[in-house]
Chains A and B, each alone.
Chain A
Amino acid sequence: MTGPISGPDELSKREQKALESLLFRLADDEFVLAERYTEWQIYAPTLESDLALANIAQDEFGHARLWYDLLGELGYTEPDLIWERPPEQWQHSTLVELSFPDGGWADTIVRGYLYDTAEQLRLEALADSSYLPLADRIEKVLLEERYHRQHAGNWLERLASGEGHDRVVAAVERLFPHAMSLFAPGPHEDNITEFGFRSESLQELRRAWLDTVIPTLDSLSVPAPEPAEVVRPDATGRDGSHTDDWFELYDAFTHTYTELENPTPVRLRGEGA
């Protein structure tokens, strides 16, 4: 474990590589999930849930911006990070990129629940990160994530205890294998814990996640898959392999940027002054 690192200048090459890999996952997960949440605008089943999802999407974009900002301090620009990064270099989990063509409100709720539970554990394991600019942001994000978990948890219970029960069961069956990819280790995993960027390994986080998620699903009479028997999807997302859904989404959100031929936004009056 290295001592506290207060900024980019103090990072060795190896440390920077490991840190970048951690940050890309964090940022990409949040950004892509936010894109999927925004698709629910006007489609959510109640006005309240429409507003809630809009708000959650805004939070997740905000969190993505926090993590992309840290990558920015390491030398990346916004076009490098988002608008011009080839889709096969994105490292988010396949869980967050899936589209739900047949409506899929239960899918959205189940995904939110599975993701937000993992997110809390991951953030808690970053709260004492040796990279101080990262550690400094965690408390704020955890405070905001609390509402996301409440929202997902409340809806999960409502759906699973009513006529939506079968849909929840089907969504869990479909999404659980993709959720496991949240914990798929990358080439820098050992360094990430060794350098103290994250206090727990992905394996430990996965165990803690299963210990939360499975009893909850059990309590709602939703069968949880046996983790060891889950057939993993071919694509995990973490290594740049993705489902077709991702490439369609990527084309959609980069469409305007591409159409305008890589625009430079008009500056505010004080910028660059």
Chain B
Amino acid sequence: MSSDRQKPPAGSPACGYTDYTEGATPEAFPKTGEGATGIERAVWDALYAVDDPEMPVSVVDLGLIYNVFVEPIDTTDRSQNAPSNRAVIEMTLTYSGCPARELLTNDVKCAAETVPEIADAEIRLRYSPPWNVNMVTDDGRTALRKFGLSV
């Protein structure tokens, strides 16, 4: 894994994401963890290790990860050494009938929970903006080409 993360792929659609509050700014999807630091960085690194079930390409390079949030959790009842954060991961699927949905979301959850500071990870599936092949990163394209796909 390279520590120098690439930018979101060129030509990937920017979603005019609106939460219907003032000052909403458009967000570009997918995310690649570029610029992430600390625990969030560690979660991204863990997600880079999860491959798509069909192809040897990471779910991040495939463009499936839309957001990673890390938030502290209440640890008053726990021992001092227990991990004290939870991760929320927003991700999508390449198509809605994906039969590996549970397998894949479970792999992502388990990967995030390998980060020592993370006690628990929650996966939220989202379908907007719809995934398309432009969301694959340059590294992802290289991996897919090596696998024999023309992208």
Known: A136-B128, A140-B128, A143-B130. A268 touches B103 (CB 8 A): yes
The contact string, 1 if C-beta is below 8 Å from chain A, for chain B 8-25, is 000000000001100000
Inside 8 A of B7's CB, which chain A residues have their CB?
none
Instruction: Please count how many residues in chain B sit with their CB below 8 Å of the partner chain's CB atoms.
Output: 22
Inside 8 A of A4's CB, which chain B residues have their CB?
20
Expressed in whole angstroms, the minimum distance between the Cβ of A63 and any Cβ of chain B is: 6
Inside 8 A of A268's CB, which chain B residues have their CB?
102-103, 106
Q: Is the interface of A mostly helix, strand, loop or mixed?
A: helix
CB of A139 within 8 A of chain B?
yes
Q: Kindly report which residue of chain B lies nearest to residue A55, judged by CB atoms.
A: B97
Known: A136-B128, A139-B129. A271 touches B97 (CB 8 A): no
Q: Is the interface of B mostly helix, strand, loop or mixed?
A: loop
Expressed in whole angstroms, the minimum distance between the Cβ of A255 and any Cβ of chain B is: 21
Identify which of residues 53-86 in chain A touch chain B, using a CB-to-CB cut-off of 8 Å.
58-63, 65-66
Identify which of residues 1-58 in chain A touch chain B, using a CB-to-CB cut-off of 8 Å.
3-4, 6, 58
CB of A260 within 8 A of chain B?
no
For the complex, what is the distance from the CA of A62 to the CA of B94, rounded to whole Å?
Answer: 12
CB of B69 within 8 A of chain A?
no
The contact string, 1 if C-beta is below 8 Å from chain B, for chain A 128-169, is 000000001101110110000000000000000000000000
Instruction: Please count how many residues in chain A sit with their CB below 8 Å of the partner chain's CB atoms.
Output: 23
Q: Kindly report which residue of chain B lies nearest to residue A136, judged by CB atoms.
A: B128
Q: Kindly report which residue of chain B lies nearest to residue A4, judged by CB atoms.
A: B20
Identify which of residues 101-140 in chain B touch chain A, using a CB-to-CB cut-off of 8 Å.
101-103, 106-107, 109-110, 113, 120, 126-131
B97 contacts A270, CB within 8 Å? no
Inside 8 A of B106's CB, which chain A residues have their CB?
268-271
B127 contacts A62, CB within 8 Å? no
The contact string, 1 if C-beta is below 8 Å from chain A, for chain B 74-106, is 000000000000000000000111110111001
CB of A228 within 8 A of chain B?
no
A59 contacts B110, CB within 8 Å? no
A66 contacts B96, CB within 8 Å? yes
Task: Count A-B pairs with CB separation below 8 Å.
Answer: 58
B109 contacts A144, CB within 8 Å? no
Cross-interface CB contact of A61 among B97, B120, B130, B131, cutoff 8 Å: B97
B110 contacts A58, CB within 8 Å? no
Q: Kindly report which residue of chain B lies nearest to residue A142, judged by CB atoms.
A: B130
Inside 8 A of B20's CB, which chain A residues have their CB?
3-4, 6
Inside 8 A of A137's CB, which chain B residues have their CB?
96, 127-128
Inside 8 A of A271's CB, which chain B residues have their CB?
102, 106
B102 contacts A140, CB within 8 Å? no
For the complex, what is the distance from the CA of A139 to the CA of B97, rounded to whole Å?
Answer: 14
Expressed in whole angstroms, the minimum distance between the Cβ of B59 and any Cβ of chain A is: 15
For the complex, what is the distance from the CA of A20 to the CA of B145, rounded to whole Å?
Answer: 45
Inside 8 A of A269's CB, which chain B residues have their CB?
106, 110
Cross-interface CB contact of B96 among A3, A6, A62, A273, cutoff 8 Å: A62
For the complex, what is the distance from the CA of A221 to the CA of B126, rounded to whole Å?
Answer: 44
A139 contacts B128, CB within 8 Å? yes
For the complex, what is the distance from the CA of A143 to the CA of B92, rounded to whole Å?
Answer: 15
Could you list 6 further interchain pairs (A-B, Cβ under 8 angstroms) beyond the known A66-B96, A66-B127, A143-B130? Answer: A60-B97, A62-B95, A139-B127, A139-B128, A269-B110, A273-B120
7 A-B pairs with C-beta separation under 8 A? A136-B128, A140-B96, A140-B128, A140-B130, A269-B106, A269-B110, A270-B107
